[in-house]
Amino acid sequence: MPVTTLTVCPGRENHAWRRAEAVGEPHDLSPRYGDPIHCARCTADAHRQLAELPELVAAISLEATHGSRGPKVGTIGRTTNVAAWPGQASRLLTDHIVGGMLELEDDIRELRQLHTRPGRRTEGAALTAATRFLAAHLHWALTNHPAAQEPHDRDSANPAAQIAGWHRAAERFTARDNRLEHYRVPCPRCSLLTLCKADGDEYIGCRNTACEVLLTSTEYLDHVRTLAATTHHEESGLAKISNAA
Query: Which amino acid belongs to residue 13?
Result: E
More reliable by pLDDT, 81 or 132: 132
Same domain for 58 and 173? Answer: yes
Residues 153 and 193 in one domain: no
Q: Indicate the range of 75-89, 90-104, 203-217, 224-238 predicted with least confidence.
A: 75-89
Residue 126: closest CA among 143, 145, 103, 144: 103
188 inside domain:
yes
| Same-domain pairing of 189 and 89 | no
Is residue 161 domain-shared with residue 209, that is, in the same domain? no
Do residues 238 and 194 both lie within one domain?
yes
State whether 100 and 115 are in the same domain. Answer: yes
29 is a domain residue: no
Same domain? For 235 and 211 the reply is yes
- Number of domains observed in the structure of the chain: 2
Which range marks the domain in which residue 218 is found? 180-245
* CA neighbor of 150 nearest in space, from 37, 16, 48: 37
pTM of this structure: 0.74
My answer on whether 198 and 231 are in the same domain is yes
Structure confidence by residue, pLDDT tens digits, 66-103: 554 444 433 333 434 444 566 788 899 999 999 999 99
169 and 229 co-located in one domain? no
Cβ neighbourhood burial of 134 (10 Å; 0-12, 13-18, 19+):
buried
